[in-house]
């Protein structure tokens, strides 16, 4: 049987980069780097429901985030502080960072769901287009019983 993997994806609204916090973020010195770090952190936190953790017990540190995002440690530390000020990130009691708006952005799928979605689209393409209204009774009028004496 085929391997059924789970996939997580990030759903961004079309006005994501027009939101006040992102506009303010990108207007800062190194702001484009900060927005890049923010998007990478959103992606890293998808599997854990918004928490930035290596596993259940080990939260990411600023150094670990710098390594994973391929940015300098000073840039990451400044970015995390700015994210806290803008309300984009919270630090939990466990020390883990939590991406505050992630719940609205998480999407999830699996290989089986993708296969079914593709099959539905294929079946939809094979159906002949309807020319009249959308009711079955437009194609086949209902049967009427007539009483004969």
Residue 131: pLDDT over 60: no
Quick check: 123 and 63 in contact, CB under 8 A?
no
Fold category of 7-104 in CATH: Arc Repressor Mutant, subunit A (1.10.10)
The pLDDT confidence band at residue 128, using thresholds 50, 70 and 90, is low
Write the pLDDT tens digit of every residue in 45-81.
888 888 999 888 899 999 999 999 999 999 999 999 9
Domain ranges of the chain: 7-104
Reported pTM: 0.67
* Cβ neighbours of residue 16 closer than 8 Å, sequence gap 6 or more: 22
The pLDDT confidence band at residue 117, using thresholds 50, 70 and 90, is confident
Tell me, rounded to whole angstroms, the distance of Cα 5 from its chain centroid: 16
Residue 137: pLDDT over 60: no
Write the pLDDT tens digit of every residue in 13-35.
888 899 899 999 999 998 999 99
């Amino acid at each position: 049987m085929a391997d059924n993997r789970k996939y997580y994806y990030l759903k961004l609204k079309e006005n994501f980069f027009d939101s006040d916090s992102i506009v303010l973020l990108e207007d800062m010195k190194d702001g484009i780097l900060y927005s890049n770090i923010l998007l990478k952190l959103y992606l890293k936190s998808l599997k854990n429901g918004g928490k930035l953790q290596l596993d259940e017990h080990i939260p990411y540190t600023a150094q670990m985030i710098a390594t994973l995002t391929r940015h300098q440690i000073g840039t990451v530390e400044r970015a995390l502080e700015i994210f806290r000020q803008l309300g984009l990130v919270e630090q939990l009691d466990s020390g883990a960072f939590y991406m505050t708006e992630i719940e609205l952005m998480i999407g999830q799928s699996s290989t089986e769901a993708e296969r079914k979605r593709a099959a539905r689209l294929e079946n939809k393409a094979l159906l002949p287009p309807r020319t009249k209204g959308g009711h079955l009774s437009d194609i086949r009028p209902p049967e009427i019983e007539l009483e004969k004496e």
